[in-house]
Amino acid sequence: MSGIIAQNVGRTSGLVKAAGGGKVLQVIQDTLGTEFNTSSTTFVEVTGLTCAITPSATSSKILILVNGTMYANTDSGFQYTPTIYRDSTNLAETDDQGFGGMRAGGSTLGAFVAISYLDSPSTTSEIDYKYYFKISTGTGYMSYNTSATSTMQVIEIGA
């Protein structure tokens, strides 16, 4: 056996030719070290948590990962709805839906929240990715980044 894998046709050795594409081209990260509070029922930007990236090719995909903690102080049940914006475009399926979120009853709730999205921006111009959320139902306020540093990573993946 020569050690060169040209094709996977008729091989019984179990060796498979490596797939093309899917290479990580760049990684950008931002962290939020302060608490962000809102009682907004429309999407509001979590200021201080933004990643700017300039894709290398129009065929690149961008993986966006957002992780953090939140706390709800409400007098009734509530629904927390997060989303990601590419510049001024909400990447959620609908402006109202966001990326799922959580619903709870009672007066307080603390939780770790994480969302991810694979974007196909088809551009080589700089893009700003931003994290937004809103209170969909209920009253009171939401705090984001309550007990740890929240992060956003954007990862360019080559075609």
What is the β-pairing status of strands 78-86 and 127-137?
antiparallel
Position with higher pLDDT, 64 vs 73: 64
Measure the CA–CA gap between 158 and 150, rounded to whole angstroms. Answer: 26
Domain assignment of residue 143, yes or no: yes
Examine the pLDDT at 2 and tell me if it is beyond 50: no
Q: Which residues pair with 31 in a beta bridge?
A: 151
Residue written as token pair 């065929």: 59
Domain assignment of residue 30, yes or no: yes
Measure the CA–CA gap between 27 and 4, rounded to whole angstroms. Answer: 31
User: Which domain does 71 fall in, by range?
Assistant: 24-157
Q: What percent of the chain has pLDDT over 90?
A: 36
Domain assignment of residue 100, yes or no: yes
CATH number at residue 79: 2.60.120
Examine the pLDDT at 47 and tell me if it is beyond 70: yes
Mean pLDDT confidence for 22-30: 94
What confidence tier does 98 reach under pLDDT thresholds 50, 70, 90?
Answer: low
Number of domains observed in the structure of the chain: 1
C-beta atoms surrounding 68 within 10 Å: 26
